[in-house]
Structure 1
Amino acid sequence: MVLAPTAWIRLSSAGRIVTVADAPGSDVAIVFGAQVAPGGTQPMPFLKGRLDVGAELLRTGKVKALLISGDAHGGSGDEVRVMQEYLVGQGVDPSRVVVDPYGLDTYDTCRRAHDVYGVRRALLVSQELHLHRAVTLCRRLGVEGFGVPARCDGCRQVTIWYNAARDVAAGPKAAWEALRHRPPAVRSPPDPRLERAIGP
């Protein structure tokens, strides 16, 4: 019973974790938020790795726009503000970046991408230890997703192990939420910004 959600997550995401080079073309990449560094102005290594891969997907033409989704009122600070500022600082065109400040968890990010921003297909950017759950949830919620792993340069091994264990522990919650198809914590009307960012 305990391992069943993990098995479901792994089976549902099988064959859908790809490299930047092998990623199929898509209009959008969803970059999942994470903690920011003390002081609230810089991304922590987990988040920096995700943003670097998102920028690379945009730069190489794999996607046309980025949907950055996180918690604007997170415990470590405003995740999406830091994400946006970091990307712009790396030379990303701000018109190609759309901010969802209510991606409070993986489920909400996937649900809002579908319901609010009209995403039906996307590349999903996070560390591999999280991507299997992200791909599975997004697919369950109507977003055909492929995961593109991000690095975590400078992360201690204990941090990797902790987050891997944390993700396994999140499996039952993910399965339950997907089964009951709960609404997002914050409901919003359809938002056309992503469609404009993708362009013709």
Structure 2
Amino acid sequence: MKLRAAVRSTRTRVAAWFPARRVVKICAVLAVLGVAVLIGSDLWIRMAHRQYEYSVESAPAADVAIVLGAEVKPNGKPSEYLKARLELGRKLLEAGKVKALLLTGDNGRASYDEPSSMRAYLVGRGVPAAKIALDYAGFSTYESCVRARHVFGVTSAIAVTQDFSLPRTIALCRAAGIDTTAVGDDTQIHGDVYRKNWLREQLADTKAVYSILFRPEPTFRGPQESSVRDAIAADPQQ
């Protein structure tokens, strides 16, 4: 009986401190703030960084093209989205816009290897293997950008991804200390996908802003590597 009385007393005090009307108001304010953060992050990402978007033909020259990884099929072949990115990287290299390619993606488990699949695709289409460097720990766009700067020493780059992800990629790479422009693929049908995943894109931009502000440590930073410098200096005939 004493326990029941204590529980009732506690409930009464809580109800007095937080009446239903006040709870509703607090929830409404938090909801409005949440929406404002989502939309505000997306607007800042897109408005502030769209100026750095180019085509292959108009892109200013840079040291490296950072080609972001994407899905690899169970047979080890790149998905159509990833193929489109790789083709842009190949065109940038062939046009002399960059001196090497840094292929960055997920190889977090032995059975899944985005960078190696990306390299095999490009080499199979005539790109010299010596002009390619691989980052096996690009588990996110943020981590790819941070590792490109601090592990591979990249200071000037053209980022390559799908067009709807360009502003976020530019923002993250520039925040990592890389003088970044970007070229985006627009050949893949994604309009309906983007609309259906609108909230996911808002959350991704909000996460990007969080990463820019708080600089979380990447999963694997690792020691510095010379593979990008070696690829830049390599003879394309090798």
| Equivalent position of 1:48 in the other structure | 83
- Which residue number corresponds to residue 160 of structure 2? 125
Distance in 1 (CA, whole Å) between partners of 2:208 and 2:185 is 21
TM-score relative to the length of structure 2:
0.78
1:131-168 residue CA offsets vs partner (Å, 9 max, x unmatched): 11000111111011111012444x46544545665333
2:24 aligned residue: none
Say if 2:142 is the partner of 1:89.
Answer: no
C-alpha RMSD over aligned residues: 1.9
Residues 77/16 of structure 1: CA separation in 2 closer, same or farther (3 Å cut): same
Distance 1:64 1:164, change over 3 A: farther
Amino acid in structure 1 at the alignment position of 2:64: V
One-letter identity of the residue aligned with 1:15: Q
Counterpart-to-counterpart distance in 2, 1:96 and 1:14: 29
Q: Please, which of 7, 10, 30 is the counterpart of residue 66 of structure 2?
A: 30
What is the distance in 2 between the residues matched to 1:25 and 1:135?
16
Q: Max radius of gyration: which structure?
A: 2
Could you say which structure has the greater relative contact order, defined with CA pairs below 8 angstroms and 6 or more residues apart? 1
User: Where is the helix percentage greater, Structure 1 or Structure 2?
Assistant: 2
How many angstroms apart in 2 are the aligned matches of 1:62 and 1:159? 31
Q: Partner amino acid for 2:166?
A: L
Task: Name the SS for the 2:138 alignment partner.
Answer: coil
Report the Cα distance in structure 1 between the residues aligned to 2:199 and 2:111, rounded to whole angstroms.
21
Deviation, structure 1 residue 184? 1.2
1: CA distance between counterparts of 2:114 and 2:200?
20
Post-superposition CA distance 1:33-58 (Å, at most 9, x none): 0001232x211111000000000000
What is the identity, as a one-letter code, of the residue corresponding to 1:130?
S
Q: Secondary structure at the match of 2:116?
A: helix
Q: Which segments of 5 or more consecutive residues in structure 2 lack a partner in the other structure? A: 1-36
- Give the Cα separation in 1 of the matches to 2:67 and 2:202: 20
Residue aligning to 1:79:
114
Which residue among 143, 155, 172 is the counterpart of 2:206? 172
- Residue 142 (structure 2) pairs with residue 107 (structure 1): yes
Q: In 2, Cα distance between the equivalents of 1:29 and 1:65? A: 7
Give the aligned length. Answer: 198
Offset at residue 91 of structure 1 (A): 0.5
Superposed structure 1 runs of 4+ greater than 2 Å apart: 73-77, 155-169
Which amino acid letter does the alignment assign opposite residue 18 of structure 1? Y
Q: Which amino acid aligns with 1:188?
A: G
* Contact 2:49–2:167 under 8 Å retained in 1: yes
Separation in 2, partners of 1:38, 1:162:
25
Matched to 2:148, the amino acid is A
Residues 1:12 and 2:48 aligned together = yes
Alignment of 1:151-162 (within 5 A): 151-153=186-188, 155=189, 157-162=191-196
Listed one character per residue, the Cα deviations across residues 72-129 of structure 1 (whole Å, up to 9, x for unaligned) are 1379931111101001011100000000000000000000001001111100001111
Give the direction of change, closer, same or farther, for the CA distance of 1:62–1:174 in structure 2 (3 Å limit): same
TM-score by length of 1: 0.92
Q: Residue 227 of structure 2: which of 189, 193, 196 is its match?
A: 193
Equivalents in 2 of 1:108, 1:100: separation in Å? 10
Q: Does the residue aligned with 1:177 lie in a helix, a strand or coil?
A: helix
**Secondary structure at 2:92 match in 1:** helix
